[in-house]
Structure 1
Amino acid sequence: MSWRACTLGDVIKLQRGHDLPERVRVDGPVPVVSSSGITGRHNVPRVDPPGVITGRYGTIGEVFFVDEPYWPLNTALYVVDFKGNDPRFAAYLLRNTLKNYKSEKAAVPGVDRNVLHLLKVRTAERREQEQVVSILSAYDDLIENNRRRIVLLEEAARMLYREWFVYFRFPGHEHVKIIDGIPEGWERLKVGDVAQLAYGKALKEETRVEGLYPVYGSSGIVGTHHAALVVGPAIVVGRKGNVGSVYWSTSDCWPIDTAYFIPSAQADFWLYLALPHVGFQNTDGGVPGLNRDFAHSRKITKPTERLRRFFNETVEPMFGQRETLLRYNRKLGQVRDLLLPRLMNGEIAV
């Protein structure tokens, strides 16, 4: 393969994203892309596809490819000119370049597009770019297919939860009386009477050692570490930033200080699916935050222990398949990431 040395600015032109506060967004089909990926929806796009977006502040080093009209936020940079290069190749090139850049500039909290444009890279002719894309995209396409299957499994579990515990159409409901608006034997309790939210522990990005254990923040998994803070399964709840977000971790994990967690002794599938219905909301005036006492005071409708166990047994195969797909995706991502630099420096001929 014939590769040539050049600068990143010779391959693509980056531009800062555009402001779009949540209060002015109108729910619609258009993905809103920030430094951490798709973080919302809007009714009108700002940019036509294809889109290649990376973080300017916040999550730096991640690169996202979108094939539909989108809105890049001001925490991100996006490609405005591919200069005749394959857009997906540009995404892989940018990912490979920023991975190296991040390791050298770990103390810098943000990136400057003008600095990025001067970074030394290597590129190939369009036909060879497409060959590289065909190899790497095979992994990404499998990952995306699995991700969609995961979404469907989660939605199936949520639909079953709503059927049983919101609409009260659980097995045998025909023979159960409704008393004070809930089935007989059920209880209206405070969240704190059902489970206790524990504080996560700070783990700065520069002190993490990549490993087997997911690191959770209020926006979900933000990295990995070689040690765990919490034994899985655990429920993670957003405390700062993405207030009230709820995540299920089958494995041991490390929730950082932007999140709470519910330990394995209290965590189950029913509680994980029930928490989004309790009405967690921001209780801080400045940075969005969830006060623990407020969260514990929220009401939750608790079914009988027998029905709760039956529900957990019913949805367990869904979560088991979800975990299998997540593990498979992690392995696919690892193989792709091993191939990426070797393909990009011409070490592997295509």
Structure 2
Amino acid sequence: MQFLSYSDKAAVPGLNRNDLHEAEVLFPPLPEQRAIAHILGTLDDKIELNRKKSEVLEGMARALFKAWFVDFEPVRAKMEGRWRQGEWLPGMPADLWDLFPDRLVPSELGEIPEGWGVKALDEVADFVNGAACQRFPPKEGEPSLPVIKIRELNQGVTESSDRVCTNFPEKHRARDGDVLFSWSGSLQCQIWTGGEGFVNQHVFRISSGGFPRWFYFYWTRYHLERFRRIAADKATTMGHIKRSHLAEAKVVVPRDRLVEGAGGAIEVLLDAKLLRLSESQQMAKSRDSLLPKLISGEIRVAPTEGPVD
């Protein structure tokens, strides 16, 4: 609708309600409306189904991590005779039996499996803080990427997201699958699936040369509630944590073979979850680009036969 054609031509253009009442709005015939609703509804249903599947996969991965590497359930099962060689433990294949010890020994964190160690969270992963991206806005016509702030972690990248030139330091570039951790404001840790961008201040991009993604992701998530309590105690409007808190957060480190063997099951669940999230984001983009074209008639669809369920 061309709203300017209804303007009263005053110094400050405005609309008269009576003019709006006379404005004509074009809309598709009812059968075509049903067809449009069916297309958009199908996409929405698929997005919702993927969301539910992602939650289930995330819950399974989180439960396995806690059972194996926090509660040491396989070790306790061996100690108590509930898991014998050649047998399956729920969620634990028999071929992993040799990878778990059968004893708990004292440590600074209390009892942990024999042969395992204790490290600080910032020893198992690198926490690279984002940069002041607003200092490097793209020039007109220059290639750019979105700035990933706390808002983007919550809502994803939108048209209103800030942009930054692409010749930004590579260490601040985030890609799908990277672990991002906002350390001030609303503290959260998630695996990014919003496409390529650059990480802004107050957001860590986490990586590791010695440990797989699932390991430092879930250990950071494990300490997240404590980090949030620390941030909440700050006498500022935007609570935060410091790097010293990362050093104080301790991690139980299994033997390398166990990280590779048992951890593979967790990574498979995470990958399946991320695949569904990525599918949903693509479908949401398709839905949002289709909607105005379908409503305006730029794209026409064949009417459905009979009622749409």
TM-score category (smaller protein): 0.5 to 0.7
- Of 163, 175, 189, the match for 1:246: 189
Alignment-mate amino acid for residue 255 of structure 2: T
Residue 142, structure 1, aligned to residue 46, structure 2: yes
Map 1:328-347 → 2, pairs under 5 A? 328-347=279-298
Q: Which residue number corresponds to residue 14 of structure 2? A: none
Alignment-mate amino acid for residue 338 of structure 1: S
Map 1:137-176 → 2, pairs under 5 A? 137-170=41-74, 173-174=78-79, 175-176=101-102
Q: Which residue number corresponds to residue 148 of structure 2? A: 215
Residue 186, structure 1, aligned to residue 116, structure 2: yes
1:342 CA displacement: 0.6
Q: Which residue number corresponds to residue 251 of structure 2? A: 300
1:190 CA displacement: 1.9
Residue 260, structure 1, aligned to residue 204, structure 2: yes
- Of 267, 270, 289, the match for 2:215: 270
1:241 CA displacement: 1.6
Larger RCO, structures 1/2 (Cα 8 Å, 6+ apart) = 2
Contact residue 236 and residue 249 of structure 1 kept, 8 A: yes
3-state SS in 2 of match to 1:260: strand
Contact residue 215 and residue 223 of structure 1 kept, 8 A: yes
Contact residue 233 and residue 252 of structure 1 kept, 8 A: no
Map 1:1-350 → 2, pairs under 5 A? 124=27, 127=30, 131-170=35-74, 173-174=78-79, 175-180=101-106, 181-203=111-133, 207=137, 215=148, 217=150, 219-220=153-154, 222-223=156-157, 229-230=173-174, 233-243=177-187, 245-249=188-192, 253-265=197-209, 268-278=213-223, 279-281=226-228, 282-283=230-231, 284-286=234-236, 287-349=238-300
3-state SS in 2 of match to 1:201: coil
In 1: Cα distance, 2:150 partner to 2:143 partner: 16
In 2: Cα distance, 1:232 partner to 1:336 partner: 21
Q: What is the identity percentage for the equivalent residue pairs of Structure 1 and Structure 2? A: 23
In 2: Cα distance, 1:310 partner to 1:214 partner: 37
Q: 1:338 to 1:233 in 2, by over 3 A?
A: closer
Contact residue 148 and residue 157 of structure 2 kept, 8 A: yes
Contact residue 240 and residue 290 of structure 1 kept, 8 A: yes
In 2: Cα distance, 1:330 partner to 1:203 partner: 25
Q: Normalized against structure 1, the TM-score is what?
A: 0.56
3-state SS in 2 of match to 1:300: strand
In 2: Cα distance, 1:334 partner to 1:121 partner: 29
Contact residue 125 and residue 208 of structure 2 kept, 8 A: no
In 1: Cα distance, 2:265 partner to 2:50 partner: 22
Q: CA RMSD in A?
A: 3.7
- CA deviations 1:282-337 (Å, max 9, x no partner) are 43321121222222222222222222222331223222322322332233223212
Q: Normalized against structure 2, the TM-score is what?
A: 0.62
In 2: Cα distance, 1:183 partner to 1:138 partner: 49
How many pairs are equivalent? 233
1:232 CA displacement: 6.5
In 1: Cα distance, 2:251 partner to 2:49 partner: 35
- CA deviations 1:119-162 (Å, max 9, x no partner) are x9957499575553332121121111111111111111001111
Alignment-mate amino acid for residue 272 of structure 2: Q
Largest Rg, 1 or 2: 2
Contact residue 28 and residue 295 of structure 2 kept, 8 A: no
In 1: Cα distance, 2:24 partner to 2:137 partner: 28
Alignment-mate amino acid for residue 277 of structure 1: Y
Contact residue 147 and residue 200 of structure 2 kept, 8 A: no
Contact residue 175 and residue 192 of structure 2 kept, 8 A: no
1:267 CA displacement: 5.0
3-state SS in 1 of match to 2:271: helix
3-state SS in 2 of match to 1:280: helix
- CA deviations 1:36-85 (Å, max 9, x no partner) are xxxxxxxxxxxxxxxxxxxxxxxxxxxxxxxxxxxxxxxxxxxxxxxxxx
Q: 1:211 to 1:330 in 2, by over 3 A?
A: farther
Q: 1:302 to 1:210 in 2, by over 3 A?
A: farther
